Structure 1
Amino acid sequence: MKQFIDFIPLILFFIVYKMAPAEVQFAGHTFEPIYTATAMLIASSIVVYGALLVIQRRLDKAQWLTFGACLVFGGLTLALHQDAILKWKAPVVNWLFALAFAGSHFVGDRPLIQRIMGHAVHLTDSLWAKLNIAWVVFFLICGFAQLYVAFTFPSIWVDFKLFGSLGMTLLFLIGQGVFLARHMHDEPTGEKPKD
């Protein structure tokens, strides 16, 4: 459910972009669909993450990062009237996630994926490291794919932002599920799983 909630602003961005007229006149300014959709992205992010903050009394670090990036990149896009700024949001956020996962190999006692999933899954240290590296590679690929499509195929960028992101995430999660299913019943050989 949490992952779906995080996609609500992106889904609303997509809907507004697709349904908005070619231009909207407001307060003496002309707004193209990308700017109307960006305003919706910012507003819906404030509502969604604000509601989560009130209900849960906290946001996790990934939600803070996503929310902050939305406000910064979306706000700059609207203020400077440059849609290229918004196109950098997804790659930068993905690369920051990749950096966090990669950095967890050197900072702390466990890889980040083990800190996230360790309460539910028991693996050996080497399998946790492999899974964590897979997340690093996933986020790097997602960032480069978003950047490539945004600046090479701008006409399909918004479609790819929603369906490409969801598709890549779904495929990766299926792959992760297969990986975990293969190894969850293995008996560790000399290496104890860490909690």
Structure 2
Amino acid sequence: MKLLLDFLPLLLFFVTFKYADGQPDWAAAFATEHLGFLVSGGKVGPTEAPVLLATLVVMLATIAQVLYLKLRRRKVDLMLWVSLGLVMTLGAATVYFHNETFIKWKPTMLYWAISTVFLVGRFLLGRDLLRKMLGPQVELPSPIWTRLTLAWIVFFLALGFANLYVAYSYSTEAWANFKAFGSTGLILLFTLGQGVYMSRHLPQESEAPAEEPKS
């Protein structure tokens, strides 16, 4: 359930973008008629309408995600608050200026925020946040936790650059595909790799002593 909730805004963004991109004239007319008051100039063209509609959907979905957790009296993770702040700020700029560049920066800023949190926590505050999150379930030597934290820092820093490369080098459609499948797939592979690496360094259970033969 939590996994579905985490990926729901991304899924809705992708579905909305694909649907609107398939019929851009309808999307432009719909956005101009119903959302023109939110847009500078009051008119939305067919080229920017798909990403504008998808941006509004992801903004509403992220708000709903936070409200759902609050109503269920469940904790809202720090990164979700960061994501909400970014999507509302950059999303509003995307809609008002009908310029997709702003929302394309959102994944990069989120990835770099994750990288920065782990970097500051480990090397400035002396707190290993990854160990704090997983420590109660997993016992690992301190050097292994440090390597895992460094891997998180480097991975999300690199993923942020990868998002910008795709955003500025390819079409918006290609970027949407990368956002939905490319970056998500890379994160899943990275998480799987982390799990494999952790399993190699788990403490071995001591073997039970052999029973003495009965006389």
Q: What TM-score results when the alignment is normalised by the length of structure 1?
A: 0.89
1:160 and 2:168 are equivalent in the alignment? no
Q: Which amino acid aligns with 2:159?
A: C
Shift of residue 82, structure 1, vs aligned partner: 1.0
Alignment of 1:17-56 (within 5 A): 17-20=17-20, 21-22=23-24, 23-25=27-29, 26-27=33-34, 29-30=43-44, 32-56=49-73
Shift of the 153–186 alpha-carbon distance from structure 1 to 2, 3 Å rule, reads farther
Mapped to 1, the partners of 2:143 and 2:53 lie a distance apart of 47
| 2:140–2:203 CA contact under 8 A, matched in 1 | no
Give the structure 1 partner of residue 143 of structure 2: 126
* Structure of greater Rg: 2
Identical aligned residues as a percent? 36
Mapped to 2, the partners of 1:119 and 1:63 lie a distance apart of 22
Q: Which amino acid aligns with 2:96?
A: A
Equivalent pairs, count: 187
Shift of residue 57, structure 1, vs aligned partner: 4.3
Give the structure 2 partner of residue 146 of structure 1: 163
1:61 and 2:78 are equivalent in the alignment? yes
Alignment of 1:92-107 (within 5 A): 92-107=109-124
Shift of residue 110, structure 1, vs aligned partner: 2.9
- Within the candidate set 187, 206, 211, 1:169 is matched to 187
Gaps of 5+ in 2: 37-42, 206-215
Mapped to 1, the partners of 2:202 and 2:78 lie a distance apart of 28
Q: What TM-score results when the alignment is normalised by the length of structure 2?
A: 0.82
Shift of the 55–17 alpha-carbon distance from structure 1 to 2, 3 Å rule, reads same
1:184 and 2:208 are equivalent in the alignment? no
Mapped to 1, the partners of 2:140 and 2:124 lie a distance apart of 20
- Secondary structure at 1:30's aligned position in 2? coil
Shift of residue 15, structure 1, vs aligned partner: 0.1
Mapped to 2, the partners of 1:109 and 1:85 lie a distance apart of 34
Mapped to 2, the partners of 1:149 and 1:100 lie a distance apart of 24
Residue-by-residue CA offset, 1:16-47 (whole Å, 9 max, x unaligned): 00011203322453351110111111111111
Mapped to 1, the partners of 2:175 and 2:198 lie a distance apart of 33
The farther-off stretch of 36-45 and 47-56 is 47-56
Shift of residue 109, structure 1, vs aligned partner: 4.5
Shift of residue 62, structure 1, vs aligned partner: 1.0
- Secondary structure at 1:110's aligned position in 2? coil
Give the structure 1 partner of residue 39 of structure 2: none
Moved over 2 A (4+): 1-4, 27-31, 106-110
Give the structure 2 partner of residue 191 of structure 1: none
Mapped to 2, the partners of 1:102 and 1:109 lie a distance apart of 10
Gaps of 5+ in 1: 188-195
